[in-house]
Structure 1
């Protein structure tokens, strides 16, 4: 039915229970789609009618059908899933198969962990996850909130539970973020725990608490400051260096040369948040300069458009980038 220049499109969904989940509590999922596209979505029984301009109506129809397909597969639909549908460009399934890319089905990228299924929300995140599976050394560089560390830890857990690595090692430089924390009481683990908390948070999302505690007790999963990596050869391990912009050039060289047989390394950082003393060069920037042309080393970059935290985070990052001329 046509009303002026506006078009009404109807979609019938066979399972009313799934349709209720698709609409969300108080139709909040429909409201989200309406706000993003400037359409109106009305429900009549098992039919959703979309009113709006042709292009917007077609996109709304595509998003609704994709979200309903998720529900048919037994998966949930939330705000993050809607956000992903709008951010991700469609992609045809890749030809062939690879043991390391088994979770890439139907053009989608999915990371299975013990507690949840993790899906990239942007094209940059999707390319990054693929690079993590395809390369022995991968760099993820960009602002806070773009999922660099979260996705790297998720891939590490996936590789561990699938037997591709024997252990997970997560590390950060213990550098104060512009604050003098002073003397921290307790044993060594107590002193460094505040620096490592973001890594604990990510692991807790992917592994049950008791299993994580047992794996840490057995040293199968290690979380340690960068300085503790010296003198080690890390074989058959998935190793993540987080906040790498705060590693010095010598620390970065030391870390990268720990790579052992059967291991994967991921280095993440944000060049705009260097907390090293004035005049001390960042090892992350040197690594970009020196390693950019070496095969089997990938560099993936993120911008404020890839921020998946609160929408205000992206706006804040953009404001600071504009003020500094994008440097």
Structure 2
């Protein structure tokens, strides 16, 4: 399918419909590959010609993405970015079958609206932990899919009848801004804090069904403070933004675990919004529970970010700045 000449590396793609999906809206996918790999891609009919030092490698990426489309899976900017970064992290190209460029066995979580597929090795390990363990922690920077994957697994287990309820919660802590008094009913007051959880649920459940399930209390979204005094049995419970839970709140939440339930705790240690001097319950849970049987700790880095590629670069820049500050403090404690 690929032919390398002095004029560049040519890739012939026979299916016109898949070709359109591969190139993306207004050629956005090709532009992304050009930017990330430093190549130029010319399209003529059902053929792509790649120019540049990394042309053979970029051609293999294009072939892998086309093979992914042939298998019935979608290609978007996140999948392209994840594939290219995975290859860079491996330090070597994978020759042979193009589909092998997406490493490891396929792992899919099916829901009513869509199928979720973890894209990086860390995401795959986290998904397996959620499927196999009663208590799973997902810790890492924004955009790594911690909450999204947990909600997908929760919905899939609910659909399969393995749990009777889905309960989503997070601390109602303002992210650096004082919003003051919020008017309205109790739900209207807390909805702004819970919106990211609504967004994830809406991706996996039809709107009418979700509204009915919420009305029946089979899907609940509530602030962490509302969990006190409850025993959560036969439920999939997700605590989001756990870095903003205090140590007492974290202990309270973890001891709500009832028979037949599973818990997922997600958080980003670099985004603690608690008052100065208040220790994060997520960090304490890591120190106290690490090594306890039946609890899985899963960690993500900037290489697992599946949002806009620039998000990973931003996170890496902030991490590097934190490291420099720590080094300066260590060199000059005064």
When normalised by structure 1's length, the TM-score is 0.85
CA gap of 1:260–1:87, structure 2 versus 1, over 3 A, is: farther
State the match for 1:94 in structure 2.
none
Q: Is 2:171 the partner of 1:173?
A: yes
Paired residues, what number? 310
- 8 Å contact from structure 1 (residues 87, 122) kept in 2: no
- Give the superposition deviation at 1:259: 1.1
Match of 1:108 in 2: 106
Q: CA deviation at 1:231?
A: 1.7
Distance 1:227 1:61, change over 3 A: same
Residue in structure 2 matched with residue 60 of structure 1 by the alignment:
58
Measured after TM superposition, the shift of residue 308 of structure 1 is 2.6
1:14 paired residue number: 14
Checking the alignment, whether the CA contact within 8 Å between 2:194 and 2:222 is kept in structure 1 is yes
In structure 2, C-alpha distance between the alignment counterparts of 1:294 and 1:133, rounded to whole Å: 18
Aligned with 2:302 (options 301, 304, 325)? 304
How big is each residue's C-alpha offset from its partner over 1:137-179, in whole Å with a ceiling of 9 and x where there is no partner? 1111112222211221111112211222211100011222233
Counterpart pick for 1:257 among 255, 258, 268 = 255
Aligned to 1:39: 39
Contact 1:88 1:121 in 2 (8 A): no
For residue 189 of structure 1, report the CA deviation from its aligned partner.
Answer: 1.6
> Matched residues in 2 for 1:250 and 1:228: separation?
14
In structure 2, C-alpha distance between the alignment counterparts of 1:7 and 1:117, rounded to whole Å = 40
Per the TM alignment, residue 21 of structure 1 is displaced from its structure 2 partner at its CA by 2.4
- Matches of residues 1-327 of structure 1 in structure 2 within 5 Å? 8-53=8-53, 56-88=54-86, 107-325=105-323
Deviation at 1:50, TM superposition (A): 3.6
Would the alpha carbon gap of residues 135 and 59 (structure 1) be closer, same or farther in structure 2, given more than 3 Å must change?
farther
Return the alpha-carbon distance in structure 2 between the equivalents of residues 175 and 45 of structure 1.
54
State the shift of 1:200 in Å: 0.9
In 2, distance between residues paired with 1:313 and 1:34?
18
Q: What root-mean-square deviation, in Å, do the aligned CA atoms of Structure 1 and Structure 2 show?
A: 2.6
SS at match of 1:261: coil
User: 1:95: which partner in 2?
Assistant: none
Q: Judging changes above 3 Å, is the alpha-carbon distance between structure 1 residues 296 and 57 closer, same or farther for their aligned structure 2 residues?
A: farther
- Normalising to structure 2: TM-score of the pair? 0.83
Q: Does structure 2 retain, via aligned residues, the 8 Å contact 1:83–1:121? A: no
Greater shift in the superposed pair: 76-85 or 280-289: 76-85
Residue 37 of structure 1: how far off its partner (Å): 2.3
SS at match of 1:315: helix
Question: Is residue 7–residue 57 contact of structure 1 (8 Å, CA) maintained in 2?
Answer: no
How far apart in 2 are the matches of 1:7 and 1:241?
Answer: 55
CA, structure 1 residues 45+188, in 2 after alignment: closer, same or farther (shift >3 Å)? closer
Please say which of residues 269-278 and 191-200 is displaced more in the overlay.
Answer: 269-278
- Whole-angstrom CA distance in 1 between matches of 2:85 and 2:299: 16
How far residue 78 of structure 1 moved from its aligned partner, in angstroms, is 2.3
Q: Deviations 1:245-304 (Å, cap 9, x if unpaired)?
A: 111111111111111122111111111222222222211111000111112211111222
Could you list the per-position Cα deviations for residues 60-107 of structure 1 after superposition, in whole angstroms to 9, with x for gaps in the alignment?
A: 2332222222322334322223223223469xxxxxxxxxxxxxx971
Structure 1 stretch displaced more, 213-222 or 292-301: 292-301
Q: Distance in 2 between matches of 1:152 and 1:258?
A: 18
